[in-house]
A and B are shown apart, each in its own frame.
Chain A
């Protein structure tokens, strides 16, 4: 057994810093790299891409990334685990095999985890009394059933461990929890048991710290953002994990950013609910047992983590079509910038009303004044400029398009000193709403497959 393993975070979301995973592979030693690509509604975007082209439906960024790093990871024996397979992990694997061929790489083993897509089975499940009602609001799925465009079960670390055991160097999954991507290599390397809840919880907490990339190593840090060195060359976090469940959060030397107990604390609190019950498919972790210690510069020791048994459900992430939104902005300048923008908003609303357009909501915010602080905003003595941002939402796409034709006229028929309409008429976009549900673990089985080139 290895004395410790180093698991690097390479990507915190689809569209994250492109150089980060390349730096992780080249700027120091790592054993594993995890790449998280899936936010709550990402699967539905990928589903749409797959409908247009059956060979798509995964994080396309992975292909140029592997084109860059594949020779390095093969040479160094680094294993890469990603949920960027999206709704088409098998096509993603084939695209990576094509990259390997181009580089003349032989004997590359890629493991795929799928079976998370339950969209075709929703009605069959309902017949078995599994109704996938909204776990947050309690609403019945039947109220949106006909608009559902994706439904994916969040699998945990288990199927990833399975393909690692079968020798995969690259693991491509569909909907897997972000934390499972980091926990899996620990389970596999240290031979942890699936009822060793404290260790599973430790790996899960490590996963939570890594899953947002640079947000644990100095990015988006409110503690003392000015003191964070060289964010231009930020090093993404690395978990140096030990067999007893202890781990150290660090980053490569000669990179920018900052790893301290304060930056780690901020990430620990990111998007959590009750800290005593951090629920994943693998365990329930207790965040009130986490002990942090700054042991050296850019090295934080994390220990003491307790966990309890996993629940008997998987979470399901569903997305459904829920109408349209459109947004537009105009910029008003001193004097009376805010008063002008407010008057323009009144004029616009009067005109929309006169046109008889129906919207579920119209919302106006004044960027530079109240979009973050809302009613808490304090009126500034002097505002150089303010951006009026109007958003509309509704079911009628024509009303959205009509709205978009009412913005530019405000420039010559409304308050003066206005600019910033270079982008032209706004296009309506579809609202893809999120529907979280639970499903008994017994109702779904992950599928795994390992292929060699």
Chain B
């Protein structure tokens, strides 16, 4: 089935220089394995094509059912140098949560 990430996760994003960070949190404990399975670095890099110009790094926090992504070279230079409206990556969380994923598992919402 096709789901939108927003249905199974929430997120918060911010900046460190020109790197955006997006923390993605499973809405229920049982959704966390779906995040680790489908939200790979490659998948996220592809999703942010044209926004994230560098590499994507993923870190796991199973204790709180969350993943942390670093999106390098994503903020137009970052800080006061950036010409972006969202120079601090505050809405990268929204961009992430809009992702559509085809999953093998069946979920009832």
Contacts and interface: CB of A to CB of B under 8 A. Distances in A.
Contacts of A268: 23, 64, 66
B16 A266 contact: no
A287 to B, nearest CB: 6
Interface in B1-55: 10-12, 14-17, 21, 23, 25, 27, 47-51
**Interface footprint category on A:** 35 or more
Contacts of B14: 270-271
B63 A272 contact: no
A393 B81 CA distance: 8
A272 B23 contact: yes
A292 B12 CA distance: 18
A269 B50 contact: no
Interface stretch (A108-116, A234-242, A247-255, A432-440): A432-440
A266 B50 contact: no
A288 B63 contact: yes
Q: Is the interface of A mostly helix, strand, loop or mixed?
A: mixed
A407 to B, nearest CB: 15
A40 B27 contact: no
B63 A372 contact: no
A432 B97 CA distance: 32
Contact of A372 (B12, B21, B48, B95): B95
Interface in A427-445: 429, 431-434, 436
Contacts, number: 128
Contacts of B78: 434
B95 A376 contact: yes
A374 B75 CA distance: 11
B61 interface: yes
Contacts of A270: 12, 14, 21, 23
25 contacts: A221-B10, A222-B10, A222-B11, A222-B97, A223-B27, A261-B64, A265-B23, A269-B12, A269-B21, A270-B21, A271-B16, A272-B23, A273-B59, A275-B68, A276-B59, A292-B64, A363-B76, A373-B94, A374-B51, A375-B49, A376-B48, A376-B95, A391-B84, A392-B83, A433-B79
Given A40-B79, A222-B97, A265-B65, 8 more contacts: A265-B64, A266-B23, A292-B64, A327-B83, A365-B84, A375-B49, A431-B80, A433-B81
